[in-house]
Amino acid sequence: MGIFDFLSGQFIDVIHWTDDTRDTMVWRFEREGHEIKYGAKLTVREGQAAVFVHEGQLADVFTPGLYMLETNNMPILTTLNHWDHGFKSPFKSEIYFVNTTRFNDLKWGTKNPIMLRDPEFGPTRIRAFGTYSARVTDPARFLSEIVGTDGEFTMDEISFQIRNIIVQEFSRVIAGSGIPVLDMAANTADLGKLIAAQVALPLTEYGLEMPEFYIENISLPPAVEAALDKRTSMGLAGDLGKFTQYSAAEAMTAAASNPAGGGMAAGLGAGMGMAMAQQMAQPGPWGAAPAAAAPAAPPPPPVEHVWHIAVDGQISGPFSKAKMGRMATEGTLTRETYVWTPGQDGWKRAEDVRELAQLFTVLPPPPPPPGA
């Protein structure tokens, strides 16, 4: 082999990349010290982009297609090197292949509960998780902002940052939506669109986009879920007495089947069984005879009126009816005295109020004049 054949073998004349992984976003074409031959063929497949970096500067970006690496196909690189149309020498540049396809089924979730004010439950906490997809839309920006000089960049290296952005926007949108927790399941599609629109803004700065975003589940803390389950059970039972009997039966079954409880569990189960048997033997919905009507509660006692008195522009009181009777006997309360009680329409003379007029009918008449 001649010297010219040896030298020509040192030059790369075919440049391409086939990816057999599922998470590689950027791959640097390894030259191993070889120079790129002028006029070499560059193959960029669908779902790829090729970015040339020359002496630390981003140069040309190639979209899918077959290219002959000549000055007319590399305008920026030609300008950087001040090549003229007669350039024929090999050159050195770093070539990064960027995967522009979608990366699907990426996971996101809230690491800590999110605080919000629910219109029905008040302050509460929720958790959520779901999936999303991402892809590179601006290879040059993605390379300069995220990848740098990494020779093989994977989705795992950026997914954590994307999850942080999603959780931040999810917390803000959920807290400001005002949607009750019990209605969020019916609005996950609309919430997903709102969150995806907010996440798209910071992702654009990375040269990325989020084509799909899904909320798979929104859950409450275990204590709140247990309270909701009990509330649902009570609603299904309908009658509180039946629900109490059902809960006692469940506790009896659990106590009898607990091997660790020993004699205490057996005694508890037997005692609850006897109580259940007595309840079922009594007339009621669990026994044979119809339930007897409970005695009616006595009506509440009547509300006693209290009275205010107006004499010479001065108001005194309140006084009970008994006190008013003593005042009538003493003469400090007369038929012409103005009185008022809550619920009465303005001040009235005592003799015009039926309840007080009786106080004056029982009084003896005035004494006869002397000598009569």
Residue 139 and residue 206 in one domain:
yes
Pair 115, 172: CB distance under 8 Å = no
- 162 domain residue, yes or no: yes
Q: pLDDT digits over 200-252, tens only? A: 999 999 999 999 999 999 888 787 778 777 777 766 655 666 667 767 777 77
pLDDT at 45: 94
Q: Indicate the range of 158-162, 288-292, 349-353 predicted with least confidence.
A: 288-292
For residue 111, tell me if it sits in a domain. yes
Q: What is the pLDDT of residue 80?
A: 74
In this prediction, residue 203 carries a pLDDT of 94
- Report, as an integer, the average pLDDT of 79-105: 80
- The reply to whether 115 falls in a domain is yes
Model confidence at 287: pLDDT above 60: no
Domain boundary, last residue among 222, 242, 260? 222
pLDDT value, residue 3: 41
Question: 112 and 46 in one domain?
Answer: no
Are 90 and 36 in the same domain?
yes
Asked if 16 and 40 count as a contact pair (C-beta separation under 8 A), the reply is no
Report pLDDT for 138.
94
Show the tokens assigned to 139. 């290879």
Pair 151, 93 in one domain: no
Position of tokens 């024929």? 88
pLDDT tens readout for residues 15-71: 899 888 888 999 998 766 657 888 889 999 999 999 998 877 888 899 999 998 887
Last residue of a domain, one of 79, 99, 119: 99
Please tell me what DSSP assigns to residue 150: -
Residue 73 corresponds to which tokens in the numbers above? 């196909």
* Residue-number span of the structural domain to which 169 is assigned: 103-222
Please report, as a single letter, which amino acid is at residue 131: T
Same-domain check for residues 75 and 131: no
Residue 295 lies in a domain: no
Kindly state whether residue 311 falls inside one of the protein's structural domains. Answer: yes
Residue 243 counted as domain residue: no
Which pTM does this prediction carry? Answer: 0.57
Enter the DSSP assignment of 21: -
Range with the lowest mean pLDDT among 162-176, 247-261, 289-303? Answer: 289-303
Q: In this structure, are 217 and 107 located in the same domain? A: yes
Q: Let me know whether 152 and 56 are in one domain.
A: no
Instruction: Based on the fold, state whether residues 90 and 120 are members of the same structural domain.
Output: no
Based on the domain organization, do 53 and 159 belong to the same domain?
Answer: no
Q: What is the arithmetic mean of pLDDT over 322-351?
A: 82
Tell me the per-residue pLDDT of 289-313, one tens digit each, with 9 for 90 and over. Answer: 555 556 777 766 666 778 788 888 7
- Helices assigned H by DSSP within the chain: 3-9, 75-81, 139-142, 156-177, 188-205, 222-237, 240-256, 262-281, 321-330, 354-361
Question: Phi and psi at residue 126, in whole multiples of 5°?
Answer: -135, 160
| Percent of the chain clearing pLDDT 70 (strictly above) | 74
Does 119 or 32 have the greater pLDDT score?
Answer: 119
Residues 52 and 163 in one domain: no
Q: Which of 62, 82, 99 corresponds to the end of one domain?
A: 99
pLDDT number for residue 264? 53
Report the domain count for the chain. 3
- According to DSSP, the residues that pair with 178 across neighbouring strands are none
Residue among 195, 30, 33, 46 nearest 128 (CA): 195
> pLDDT-based confidence at 323, cuts 50/70/90?
confident
Q: Tell me whether residue 332 is in a domain.
A: yes
Mean pLDDT confidence for 334-360: 81
Q: What is the pLDDT of residue 2?
A: 46
Same domain, 117 and 161: yes
Question: Cα 276 to chain center, whole Å?
Answer: 43
